[in-house]
Amino acid sequence: MKAYTEYWTFHTEKRREIVHITDRVEEVVRKSGVKEGFVLVSAMHITAGVYVNDLEEGLIEDIWEWLEKLAPYRPDYRHHRTGEDNGDAHLKSLLIHHQVVVPITGGKLDLGPWQRIFYAEFDGQRPKRVLVKVIGE
């Protein structure tokens, strides 16, 4: 069994941003030499996430609207008593989740026809790490 790991750093210009990363993940899979296995993509921060969905601008806007309805930015989160102002970012991360596992078949990501991989930043403008780990044969 082979294993290959890369760490990436994201430093978004905006506090909240969605970054399409499918091509970068595909490149890691190619470099790994794994033909059959899995790739794990994991945000290593509690105010960011990784998810799989469609690369369509209207849907991305709908996702932001949905997240804001479920975990709106507001000043009265208990977490803010610690001096932070990102309580909503922690909750949004829970909704999106922090990682995905994608199958690799024939040396390529085995995604559905519209599926793409995204990094979701909810409290950016500072460096955040992402782990990409490929395991297989």
Does residue 78 belong to any structural domain of this protein? no
**Domain carrying residue 34:** 2-55+97-136
pLDDT for 74-118, tens place per residue? 999 999 999 999 999 999 999 999 999 999 999 999 999 999 999
Does residue 19 belong to any structural domain of this protein? yes
Residue 36: which CATH number?
2.60.120.460
pLDDT for 110-124, tens place per residue? 999 999 999 999 999
Instruction: Compute the C-alpha angle 136/121/81, nearest 5°.
Output: 125
So what's the pLDDT on residue 119?
Answer: 98
Work out the end-to-end distance of the chain between its first and last CA atoms, rounded to an integer number of angstroms.
5
So what's the pLDDT on residue 111?
Answer: 98
Q: What average pLDDT score do residues 29-57 get?
A: 98
Does residue 61 belong to any structural domain of this protein? no
d(CA 61, CA 57): 6
Structural domains in the chain (count): 1
Does residue 112 belong to any structural domain of this protein? yes
Provide the strand spans (E) within 47-88.
48-54
